[in-house]
């Protein structure tokens, strides 16, 4: 019975404090909602940017052009040597005739016969090579270039380096932004709880005089912080889910070539994590405020 009475008391005191500081509570709730909303948008942006960059990286391939003097046996041996290089994922041979056919297929005008225009096929035999780890493309290309019979390798050298640099900076900036937003939410909740403690300082002093334990005094403030964080996060998740769902539907028709994350399970996990993050931020903000401003 004592536990039930204590629990009822804790929640009564929590909602009294919220009503007493209703303007500040509403302001904090709104700000926490905005912080979690921006935080969620940053998380979704980071995930989608990472997904897009990973897709670009996975599409990286090397075109290994070989000398015309190599016969069929030499080509087979060279292909096997390339496969044996550590880090190579796939190797596909493309004959000069296949290369010309592929080039012909890129022309819209079917009447245009590329073979008649160029006469003797000037294209070389080649190998299309993909690496297991896109980061190893440049290193693997150097090893392939040392093989006998290889005279040129094309993998967009300058573009690859810039792509990896952009990918790295996008991830760093996203992580820094997420950390700053989380710290902002903690600061706001801590400020709200500090003001609630200041408004009830005499009551807290009297409670301590009659023998109230530290945690008996602390619990209403913890519930208040968790409530503000959780409700703010819930509102943010609802707004984020509606906004992101609308964005995905519009992007599918307008900019279909940009792959957005739309896995329901993954999105549900993100939304649940954001809701939990709101409660955790509320708890952290309350803990910081209690430790600094509540002398119990």
43-60 confidence digits (pLDDT tens): 888 788 777 767 766 667
pTM (global) more than 0.95: no
Is pLDDT at 1 greater than 50 in this prediction? no
Backbone angles phi, psi at 93, to 5 degrees: -80, 135
Is pLDDT at 272 greater than 80 in this prediction? yes
* CB environment 151-190: b (16+ within 10 A), e (fewer): eebebeeeebeebbeebeebeeebeebbeebbebbbbbbb
- pLDDT for the residue numbered 35: 79
CATH ID of 61-154, from 3.30.70.3040, 3.40.800.10, 3.30.1540.10, 3.40.50.880: 3.30.70.3040
Q: Are 277 and 178 in contact (CB under 8 A)?
A: no
CA neighbor of 58 nearest in space, from 122, 132, 164, 166: 132
Q: Are 192 and 228 in contact (CB under 8 A)?
A: yes
- pLDDT for the residue numbered 234: 92
Tell me which residue has tokens 């005499």.
Answer: 202
Cα torsion angle, 185, 187, 191, 196, sign: positive
Q: Are 290 and 197 in contact (CB under 8 A)?
A: yes
The domain segmentation of the chain, as residue ranges, is: 2-57+162-293, 61-154
- pLDDT for the residue numbered 123: 78
- What is the spatial order of strands in the sheet that 126-131 belongs to? 88-94, 126-131, 62-66, 150-154
Is pLDDT at 238 greater than 90 in this prediction? yes
Q: Is 33 buried (19+), middle (13-18) or exposed (0-12) by CB count in 10 A?
A: buried
Q: How confident is the model at residue 173 (pLDDT cuts 50, 70, 90)?
A: confident
Is pLDDT at 72 greater than 80 in this prediction? yes
73-77, 138-142, 253-257: which range is least confident on average? 253-257
141-171 confidence digits (pLDDT tens): 888 888 888 888 887 666 666 767 777 787 7
The answer for 141, left when phi > 0, alpha when psi is -120 to 50, beta otherwise, is: alpha
The contacts of residue 80 (CB under 8 Å, 6+ apart) are none
């Amino acid at each position: 019975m004592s536990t039930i009475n204590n629990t009822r008391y804790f929640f009564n005191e929590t909602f009294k404090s919220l009503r007493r500081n209703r303007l500040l509570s509403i302001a904090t709730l709104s700000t926490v909602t905005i912080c979690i909303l921006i935080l969620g948008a940053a998380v979704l942006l980071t995930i989608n940017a990472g997904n897009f960059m990973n897709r670009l990286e996975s599409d990286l391939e090397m075109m290994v052009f070989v000398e015309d003097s190599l016969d069929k046996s030499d080509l087979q041996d060279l292909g096997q040597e390339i496969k044996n290089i550590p880090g190579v994922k796939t190797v596909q041979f493309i004959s000069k005739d296949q290369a010309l056919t592929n080039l012909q297929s890129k022309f819209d005008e079917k009447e245009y016969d590329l073979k008649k225009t160029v006469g003797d096929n000037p294209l070389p035999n080649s190998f299309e090579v993909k690496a297991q780890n896109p980061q190893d493309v440049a290193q693997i290309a150097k090893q392939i270039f040392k093989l006998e019979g290889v005279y040129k390798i094309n993998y967009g050298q300058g573009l690859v380096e810039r792509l990896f640099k952009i990918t790295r900076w996008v991830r760093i900036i996203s992580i820094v932004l997420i950390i700053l937003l989380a710290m902002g939410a903690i600061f706001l909740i801590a400020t709200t709880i500090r003001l609630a403690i200041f408004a009830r300082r005499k009551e807290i002093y009297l409670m301590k005089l009659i023998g109230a334990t530290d945690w008996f005094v602390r619990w209403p403030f913890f519930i208040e912080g968790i409530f503000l964080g959780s409700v703010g996060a819930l509102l943010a998740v609802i707004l984020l889910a509606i906004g992101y769902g609308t964005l995905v539907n519009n992007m599918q028709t307008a900019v279909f070539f940009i792959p957005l994350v739309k896995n329901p399970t993954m999105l549900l996990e993100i939304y649940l994590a954001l809701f939990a993050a709101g409660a955790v931020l509320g708890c952290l903000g309350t803990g910081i405020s209690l430790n600094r401003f509540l002398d119990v």
